[in-house]
Structure 1
Amino acid sequence: MNKGGTRTRSTWRLAGLILVLVTALAAQAEPPSSTIPGRKPDSSEPWSAFLGKVAHEAIGRAYSVQHPTSVVFLNTVDLYRIVEKGELGDPERLPGFVRRLRPDITDTRLLVLFELKPDNEKSREIGRKEAGRYLAALNEVAEPDKKLVGGTGFEGSLFLEFENGGALWPLSWRTPEPGVTLYRWSYRRKKPNASWKERAAQKAEELPREEIEQRGELAEQAIWAAYEGGERPKGFQGQVYLPVDYR
């Protein structure tokens, strides 16, 4: 009886272990419950880098919206695919280590390129070098009538307002030199029931650390929803003003 009981308990333990493993594997195979982006709670990514990625996505979307007839590639697409899909030339001529480089914005109809960087002198210099490197690589393989240049005249801003008259987060960008677009996040303090002109005229401040940690992920989700035309993220009671909303 003891041996039989031991075998029975062992069988049940084994069956339980298999069930746990099957359940875990099934959970991993299931698609994510939401397509809304977000920063993982255990992420060690600095908030500055996270907001930089948000800015890249938002500004790239803004460019695409402003140029609906263009073929626009954002920074998820490498040089090989830009040359191939943009029909610029022969992508096989790109050196192996260069093929994977990804410019921030490339417009193969207008034949212009932009590299996005935070609005400071050090980043501006880095952006200038990177844009030059991308242009040199593309133009080395592009057909004579499809050479690219650094883009100019690209500027704009969008605003996130948290609640009615709540904290205002402007994201602005400008292109002070060909191919280099500089962006800046800023902050306006709460001012309930103020008009839009009053809000815009408030003193620009640096985004407080506590604001970034509290609302950073929500800001990304709100911008994403505004461009996608989706539902507002849970907990966001304000408004997102895209460049086309207030011009």
Structure 2
Amino acid sequence: MKNSGTRTRRTLGLAGFLLVLVAALGAQAEPPSSKLPGRKPDSKEPWGAFLGKAAHYAIGKEYSVRHPTHIVFLDESLSTIVGDGKLGNPKRLSELVRRLRPDITDIDAFVLFELKPDNEASRVEGRDQAGRYLAALNEVAEPDKKLVGGTGFEGALFLEFENGGALWQLSWRTSEPGVTLYRWSYRRKQPGASWKERAAQKEEELPREEVEQRGEMAEQAIRAAYDKGERPKGFQGQVYLPVDCR
């Protein structure tokens, strides 16, 4: 009876551990939250989450623009990448990892990128995540279709909200294979100056009040610029994509 009780406790303990693990992996697999700050007064979403979502969209789209003939997956599950990308048999992926979603996967160049804010803790997290994704993909990929961490991907874009007004910059760089770090910065108003003149000014941290006031508009403006859609209502400025900045 004593041994039976011990075995029961061990079984329950193992089951509990697996449930926690599945929940954690499932949370990682979920796409970015659509509850963005600024849209609801009672939202508890941190402001950085909104900027992260906008950055992920812009950087992913920019990668696709630069590689128009490649098959590129943006925030897709490992199961979809393996199956639709014809890398191997997606059924070989375990239930625990098949829903995980790398940020950028290029199956023509056989490279992968994980996007993170430009700080040390996020860089380490990005390295760990990219390593896990690559290990899972390469375990089931055919021998001639193994992936590695991508390199050399960098760029910047600017948002000008009105002539001579606030100027935001989104910039990114690939600090190590598979890890691309991004940061937002700000230039003060300078009426009469061109956006290029203000871009040469000293970078400052993006003020929270600017994000609260213009965060949603910034995301919509970036989407409209890449998708050639209608500008958001009230946006009187311009989006300068990386092609304009070079």
Pairwise TM-score range, normalised by the shorter structure: 0.7 to 0.9
Partner of 1:213: 212
Partner of 2:192: 193
User: Would you say 1:44 and 2:44 are equivalent positions?
Assistant: yes
Shift of 1:88: 0.3
User: Would you say 1:203 and 2:223 are equivalent positions?
Assistant: no
Counterpart-to-counterpart distance in 2, 1:245 and 1:73: 25
Letter in 2 for 1:232: R
Please identify runs of 4+ aligned residues in structure 1 that moved more than 4 A: none
Letter in 1 for 2:70: S
Partner of 1:79: 78
Partner of 2:221: 222
Q: Per the alignment, in what secondary structure is the counterpart of residue 187 of structure 1?
A: strand
Partner of 2:96: 97
Rg larger in structure: 1
Partner of 2:181: 182
Letter in 1 for 2:241: L
Partner of 1:6: none
Contact 2:156-2:245 at 8 Å conserved across structures: no
Contact 1:38-1:221 at 8 Å conserved across structures: no
Partner of 1:55: 55
Counterpart-to-counterpart distance in 1, 2:81 and 2:196: 41
Letter in 1 for 2:81: I
Partner of 1:116: 115
Counterpart-to-counterpart distance in 1, 2:170 and 2:196: 17
Percent identity, please: 77
Counterpart-to-counterpart distance in 2, 1:240 and 1:58: 11
Letter in 2 for 1:54: A
Partner of 2:130: 131
Shift of 1:46: 1.2
Counterpart-to-counterpart distance in 1, 2:49 and 2:137: 27
Q: Per the alignment, in what secondary structure is the counterpart of residue 181 of structure 2?
A: strand
Counterpart-to-counterpart distance in 2, 1:197 and 1:117: 27
Contact 1:185-1:206 at 8 Å conserved across structures: yes
Partner of 1:67: 67
Contact 2:164-2:195 at 8 Å conserved across structures: no
Q: Per the alignment, in what secondary structure is the counterpart of residue 125 of structure 1?
A: helix
Counterpart-to-counterpart distance in 1, 2:182 and 2:110: 22
Partner of 2:240: 241
- C-alpha distance after superposition, 1:133-162 (max 9, x if no partner): 000000000000000000000000010001
Counterpart-to-counterpart distance in 2, 1:91 and 1:244: 37
Shift of 1:203: 0.7
Q: Per the alignment, in what secondary structure is the counterpart of residue 187 of structure 2?
A: coil
Specify every segment of 5 or more residues in structure 1 that has no aligned partner in the other structure, as ranges. 1-36
Shift of 1:38: 6.9
Shift of 1:186: 0.3
What's the TM-score once normalised by structure 2's chain length? 0.83
Q: Per the alignment, in what secondary structure is the counterpart of residue 87 of structure 2?
A: coil
Q: Per the alignment, in what secondary structure is the counterpart of residue 130 of structure 1?
A: helix
What's the TM-score once normalised by structure 1's chain length? 0.83
Count of aligned positions: 210
Counterpart-to-counterpart distance in 1, 2:242 and 2:115: 17
Shift of 1:246: 3.1
Counterpart-to-counterpart distance in 2, 1:113 and 1:50: 23
Shift of 1:41: 2.1
Contact 1:72-1:108 at 8 Å conserved across structures: yes
Counterpart-to-counterpart distance in 2, 1:118 and 1:47: 13
